[in-house]
Structure 1
Amino acid sequence: MTVREAPPATDTDHNPRVGVGGLLALLAGSGALLAVLGVWMSGAAVPGFLRDPGAVVRWGLPVVTTLTELAGSLTLGALVLAIGVLPRRAAAAVGTATSRPARGGVSPVVGDGYARSLVLAGVSAAVWTVLSMVHLVLTYASVSGRPPDSATFGEELGVFVTQIDLGRTLILVTTLAAVVTALALLVATPTGAAWTAVLVVVALWQQAQTGHAAGSASHDLATTSMFVHLVGAAVWIGALAALAVLLSRLGADLGPAVARYSVIAGWCFAAVAVSGLVNAVVRVGGMDGMASRYGVLVIVKAVLFGALGLLGLWHRRRVIPALAGVDTRGAGARLFWRLVAVELAVMGAVSGVAAALGSTSPPVPDEPIGNPTPAEIVTGHALPPEPTPLRWLTEWRWDLMFAFAAVAGIVVYLAWVRRLRKRGDTWPMSRTLMWVAGLVIFFWTTSGGPAMYGHVLFSAHMVQHMILAMVIPILLALAAPVTLALRALPSRSVSLRGDASRGPREWILVLVHSRLGQFFANPIVAAVNFAGSMIVFYYTNAFEWALTSSVGHIVMVVHFSLAGYLFANGLIGVDPGPKRPPYPQRILVLFGTMAFHAFFGVTLLNGESLLVADYFGLLGREWGPSAIADQQKGGGVAWGIGELPTLALAVGVAVSWARDDERVARRRDRKVDRDGDVEMDEYNAMLARMSDRDGAAPH
């Protein structure tokens, strides 16, 4: 079989080359124009009184910033298309595709857009690298007030990228962009694209560190909200732009690709909306700040964002049904192009206003805290009031990423349950309640009292740790989220369309059945990881890293939550995983872990050496116990509170063991009723043969 070539384009067909060039020019031009207009309106291009880097720097930096962000967005968007959006031919189908409908009347996969998406990612990453270098030079010229053609500019730039935090961050982003360029041109699978996209996300995290409020008391919230904002906007803008660029290669894959992208765009819209609201609250500071130039730019961006949301809603309801069953030629493609052109124009405008915001001083001073207290010097935050039972519930230290993840997890789980019920399947209400309770507790643990006091009290930190590692995972394991996902999510069947792309269901199966996933999910390995990682964490520099770095804190929360889930799932869970050991061995593993955990708590309870003394010993607390007494109290928390979930696990294993025995007994009874007691008959026959041999033996 051979691939049928597409018929030659007619006068009524859309010219994809003109469309791609015009679309990219519209995207870049609208962003650059809005950046210039925003700078003009904000007055950021007015020459400085002391040092003026020149008009090229003042006007060029916002434009280059916009183009750099758009290039990074296109890189990430093209990688997202390869990870789970574009249809991909199975290996056996490569070179054998045909235009004849596959089984069930479904058109076969074209698959040409998938490979091109990785090439597009590599090319856009190369552009991103060059623009990042230019952005680095202009940024230093702007902050130093020196034009790039000054005699000592190169030497000073070297000091900037090696000794100044902002310079090191910008050079790291440039380096990551260069690495992404090489990897995107080398990888060929969704897994490779996913690992490459991780590097882009790391670069966006570094970029989030350079925003406003870096020295204020809201630094952590501003950084996490900016990160969520950057990732959401980059995927949203970049994936749509990449679809437009690859349109001529999609053919009959156009409808499925747009439908899959639309789901991602909906989540990106929510992420950008929430993070943008949080950023505005942090930077504007109140209603008085809305009257400033910065506040006006925030309002303009909000209006454009609202228009974009309406376009996205119209896109979902009108365009996707119109694209079903059509290829990249004809009225459906032209409708797609018109919608994309308008939507990307508004996206470029939003990016331009965002760049202008980055060049404008917000109403809240972006300066280090004046006359900081010891707690503010050490933690970057004011010391909270003395904890009381009520304050554990009313004090909040928001973590936008984990809060958004918790809410999204509840929404997705309930949507999956609703999908099962709509098709007539059932799902236990107890599992749904377990999941909702687990994520509500996770929300409170990462943004409520444990998060507020966990930064200044070791005992409170241990409460947070025990809940994350031992309470929440039990609830989530009993909720069986993987089982629900595999039942609710549609499969991209190779047998129906030749589609070897990976949707959410396929990615879950890849993770569950991967060697790495099987290894860490093994109950023995999970127990060693669960117990041993606590020793490694608290008695190495990892604990200090988690206290003093937002990245370290994120790693801590993710690691102990995941380690606890794998441990609980290996003992009492119903989700797919490695072969679980027999119940007696599970009990032994559990009690061995319990003993190790008790030893860890007793060690802290009797310890006289303060962990991370340069942190907990210098907070200047005037309330509560001393630092060493509080650490010993934390040991009691680890020993006492930590044992209760372990006992609950033991009860769960015992109940599962009893139910398993009951199932085995019922299964045997049904077999006896159906076939007779074959095993007992064979045993009696064996005894009879032995008796006959004994009777026949000579005496």
Structure 2
Amino acid sequence: MTQTATKHQTARTLTWVGVAVVIIGLAVVSSTAYTGTVANRDTMHPGDVVLWSLPIVSALHHFALAIVIGCLLFAAAVLPPRVTHASAATTDVPDAAEHPAFRRVMTVASAAAVVWVLAAVTILVLTFADLSGQPLSASADFGQQLLSYVTDLVVGQARSVIVVLAVVVATLTFLVRSSAGLWGLALLSLSATIPISLIGHAAGSDEHYAGVGALVIHWVGVLVWVGGVAALACIAPTIPPTDSSSSPQSPSNFATVVVRRFSAIASVAFVLVLASGVLNSVLRLGDWDGLVTRYGQLILLKFMATLVLGAIGWFHRQWSITRLATQPANRTVWRLVVAEVLIMAGIIGVTSTLSRAAPPIPQEIKPALTPAQRLTGYPLPPELTWDQWLAQWRWDWLWIAFIVIAAAVYLLGARRAPSWPWHRTASWLTALGILVYVTCAAPTIYGKVLFSMHTTMLLTLALIVSVLLVLGRPIQLAAQSVARRTDGSRGLREWLDLAQPVLAKPALSGTVLIASLLAFYYTPVFQLALQYWLVHQLTNLYFLVVGCWVMHGLLDPGARRFAHRTTRITGAAMLAGLFLLWAVVLVSGMLPVVQPDWFGGMERTWGPSLALDQQLAGIAVLLTGFTPIALVGIALILGRPPRAAHDRTSKRTSVGESSATQGSASV
């Protein structure tokens, strides 16, 4: 590619980015004027500069963050890092050199990350001026109060975390090029949605944790969707023309492969945006009367624009995939992509205004009236009787989104796999149903009140749910429904190939599980999980993953290549013995009461005492920890050793060897 062509591509990219920034500004100004956010500010007025700059800079911040995330996801999951022999002829770049599209997307990611840093720092200062009602100043007093805002107030701390994340990501985008590192950077960038959501309007509703979860889902969907389309527009000039002499599925049809891969990501992101947007609207508006307010009308406008944009994007990508498979990439396709970005820029501008406008219902958190409310954020639940096991529900939308996606992806794979056994699908869906119950019903609600219920919840996630998930054979399903990539990038199959030797280590995974449980319950980490929503969510996810790791090493047929049957039986026996020992120690009362200040500080008038509750926790460990592992061990002992022919068949059909679906190389 000549230097003149590179400059021309850069100029075109800067042009559409500049137009997007102008659209963001116009959307912010018009929606701010419509809602009267600035005009209604009578007291603690920080000045028009602050009031008008803050929503504009916020929209630019979100747009830059979206571009960073989209470019990093493209670099990690969509684009090949280097030019392969098959595509060297169409790119005018030597074989094994860095792919032009990959290089460009990383350049854009670095530039957008720098903008993200500047916007995050500016928002930090403007937010302080807005909340304190002070105009911007270079005085020492303003700086001292700003420092107190950053260190002492939750809003300031959240904004500071975003600044730190932006600086770290911006620095590493210049250094990291490996697939694992780029995935880590993408996830680190996405983690900025957590502090953004913690200080959002829906997070201040009565259902605080439901609001935070819904906002996180919404932001993740928005940033992935918008950022992905922006990344696609950025790399469009570097995509080589289609090789008309090859089949549409050939790796030389680079444009088709890229659009198809992104289309799968965009479809999931759109569903997340639409569903979580509806949920957030319900939390903010309160009832139907809220729709007739100006705030509600902007929400309706945003909803309709999102719906229309999703339909346009879907039809456009279906049309472009067919067109690019038979014709060289043309300007019409990529102009439509840029048009999507510009519409999204307008929606982001409206979203920025909505985040600053007051909802039609009061969003202040009510004062805590009871010790339980002060500790957990919710009233003390009623006494745990048998009917309450089914009556108590509190929806956790993060887990609901995860479960729905897991079910949809599995069912799609089962549909594509030839003759997939129904009992495996039933096992997977049963596990997800139990996961809904554990994360949204009595185990989680009473887990903050009773130590025995918390151990029941955590061990159910780690052992019972994980057994059913592994019996669903998701890795074998991936081997039959997802083909390997041939362009040097890493998809699901490639990552599973790399992880398989580590996954099939029952002794290692069992040791990690026991050590993690002891470190969790008998260190301050347990108190952090009880106090903070984020730590609670990460803990549940961690033990679910570790539990699946353990059960994969014990039960999955693919593990037979790496872990002998005797090794797996020994691992199961070791785990069962440790869980039995832990249960006996808890029942005997040999250990001190866990977190007595927390569980004893709620002034609970029903249920067991702290000492008895700890003994009941021992019974919970026996039922949900020792029993599943013991049953798995018995199944391993009674099971027939695989024949040599079966071993060879397993090797051919396990991850890394299957060739059943080579026709879907774009996945």
TM-score norm. by structure 2 comes to 0.89
For residues 249-288 of structure 1, the aligned pairs below 5 Å read 249-252=238-241, 253-288=254-289
Match of 1:228 in 2: 217
Match of 2:542 in 1: 559
Match of 1:79 in 2: 72
Change (3 A) 1:117 1:108: same
Indicate which of 464, 475, 490 corresponds to 1:471: 464
For residues 53-132 of structure 1, the aligned pairs below 5 Å read 53-89=46-82, 93=85, 97-99=88-90, 111-132=99-120
The Cα of 1:324 is off from its aligned counterpart by 2.0
Listed as ranges, the gaps of 5+ residues in structure 1 are 102-106, 494-498, 669-699
Matching residue's letter, 1:564: G
Indicate which of 577, 581, 591 corresponds to 1:599: 581
The Cα of 1:664 is off from its aligned counterpart by 5.5
Query: Which whole-Å deviations, capped at 9, do the CAs of 1:23-47 have from their partners, x for residues lacking one?
Result: 2123222222112222112111026
Indicate which of 42, 46, 63 corresponds to 2:39: 46
Partners of 1:396 and 1:451 within 8 A in 2: no
Query: Which whole-Å deviations, capped at 9, do the CAs of 1:228-255 have from their partners, x for residues lacking one?
Result: 1111111111121122122211223332
Match of 1:506 in 2: 494
Match of 1:676 in 2: none
Indicate which of 383, 386, 389 corresponds to 1:386: 383
Match of 2:187 in 1: 198
Query: Which whole-Å deviations, capped at 9, do the CAs of 1:518-554 have from their partners, x for residues lacking one?
Result: 1x64111112112222211111111111111122112
Match of 1:646 in 2: 629
Match of 1:104 in 2: none
Distance 2:147 2:622 in 1: 52
Distance 1:575 1:211 in 2: 45
Distance 2:111 2:647 in 1: 61
Distance 2:119 2:34 in 1: 25
Match of 2:236 in 1: 247
Match of 2:408 in 1: 411
Distance 2:8 2:374 in 1: 60
Change (3 A) 1:42 1:150: farther
1:352 aligns with 2:346: no
Change (3 A) 1:110 1:525: closer
Match of 1:182 in 2: 171
Distance 1:319 1:486 in 2: 28
Distance 1:15 1:505 in 2: 37
The Cα of 1:195 is off from its aligned counterpart by 1.6
Structure showing greater radius of gyration is: 1
Query: Which whole-Å deviations, capped at 9, do the CAs of 1:311-364 have from their partners, x for residues lacking one?
Result: 122123212211225444xxx332321x22332222112211211111111234
Change (3 A) 1:8 1:72: closer
Distance 1:7 1:461 in 2: 62
Distance 1:627 1:79 in 2: 49
For residues 531-546 of structure 1, the aligned pairs below 5 Å read 531-546=514-529
Indicate which of 310, 332, 336 corresponds to 1:334: 332
Partners of 2:572 and 2:630 within 8 A in 1: no
SS in 1 for 2:240: helix
Partners of 1:217 and 1:380 within 8 A in 2: no
Matching residue's letter, 2:160: I
Matching residue's letter, 2:190: V
Change (3 A) 1:180 1:166: same
Matching residue's letter, 1:50: T
For residues 486-525 of structure 1, the aligned pairs below 5 Å read 486-493=479-486, 499-513=487-501, 518=502, 521-525=504-508
Change (3 A) 1:184 1:439: same
Match of 1:149 in 2: 137
The Cα of 1:162 is off from its aligned counterpart by 1.9
Distance 2:62 2:212 in 1: 17
The Cα of 1:390 is off from its aligned counterpart by 3.3
Partners of 2:413 and 2:481 within 8 A in 1: yes
Partners of 1:319 and 1:336 within 8 A in 2: no
Partners of 1:212 and 1:358 within 8 A in 2: yes
The Cα of 1:641 is off from its aligned counterpart by 3.8
Indicate which of 147, 159, 162 corresponds to 1:158: 147
Query: Which whole-Å deviations, capped at 9, do the CAs of 1:407-451 have from their partners, x for residues lacking one?
Result: 11111111111112xxxx222222111111111111221112222
For residues 527-676 of structure 1, the aligned pairs below 5 Å read 527-576=510-559, 579-583=562-566, 585-607=567-589, 609-656=592-639, 658-660=640-642, 663=643
Change (3 A) 1:292 1:601: farther
For residues 21-40 of structure 1, the aligned pairs below 5 Å read 21-40=14-33
The Cα of 1:659 is off from its aligned counterpart by 4.5
Distance 1:666 1:311 in 2: 49
Change (3 A) 1:100 1:237: closer
Matching residue's letter, 1:556: T
1:137 aligns with 2:125: yes
The Cα of 1:666 is off from its aligned counterpart by 9.9
The Cα of 1:667 is off from its aligned counterpart by 10
1:300 aligns with 2:297: no
Matching residue's letter, 1:324: A
Matching residue's letter, 1:266: S
Query: Which whole-Å deviations, capped at 9, do the CAs of 1:88-121 have from their partners, x for residues lacking one?
Result: 435x759x922399xxxxx999931012211111
Partners of 1:99 and 1:108 within 8 A in 2: no
Change (3 A) 1:560 1:667: closer
Partners of 1:75 and 1:125 within 8 A in 2: yes
Matching residue's letter, 1:189: S
Partners of 1:173 and 1:203 within 8 A in 2: yes
The Cα of 1:581 is off from its aligned counterpart by 2.9
The Cα of 1:7 is off from its aligned counterpart by 13
Partners of 1:512 and 1:577 within 8 A in 2: no
Change (3 A) 1:443 1:666: closer
Moved more, 647-656 or 262-271: 647-656
Q: How big is the alpha-carbon RMSD for the aligned residues of Structure 1 and Structure 2?
A: 2.7
The Cα of 1:186 is off from its aligned counterpart by 0.9
Listed as ranges, the gaps of 5+ residues in structure 2 are 242-253, 649-667
Partners of 2:393 and 2:442 within 8 A in 1: yes
Distance 1:469 1:17 in 2: 50
Partners of 1:304 and 1:349 within 8 A in 2: no
Matching residue's letter, 1:587: I
TM-score norm. by structure 1 comes to 0.85
Change (3 A) 1:50 1:23: same
Identity of aligned residues (%): 32
Distance 1:17 1:564 in 2: 48
Partners of 1:136 and 1:167 within 8 A in 2: yes
The Cα of 1:79 is off from its aligned counterpart by 0.3
Query: Which whole-Å deviations, capped at 9, do the CAs of 1:470-511 have from their partners, x for residues lacking one?
Result: 111111111111121122112212xxxxx1111222232233
Change (3 A) 1:450 1:197: same
The Cα of 1:264 is off from its aligned counterpart by 0.5
SS in 1 for 2:594: coil
Query: Which whole-Å deviations, capped at 9, do the CAs of 1:532-578 have from their partners, x for residues lacking one?
Result: 22211111111111111122112211221122112112122224587
**Count of aligned pairs between the two proteins:** 631
Moved more, 454-463 or 285-294: 285-294
The Cα of 1:265 is off from its aligned counterpart by 0.4
Partners of 2:91 and 2:240 within 8 A in 1: no
Distance 2:646 2:63 in 1: 63
Distance 1:124 1:327 in 2: 29
Query: Which whole-Å deviations, capped at 9, do the CAs of 1:202-250 have from their partners, x for residues lacking one?
Result: 2222222221244443221111211111111111111211221222112
Change (3 A) 1:110 1:487: farther
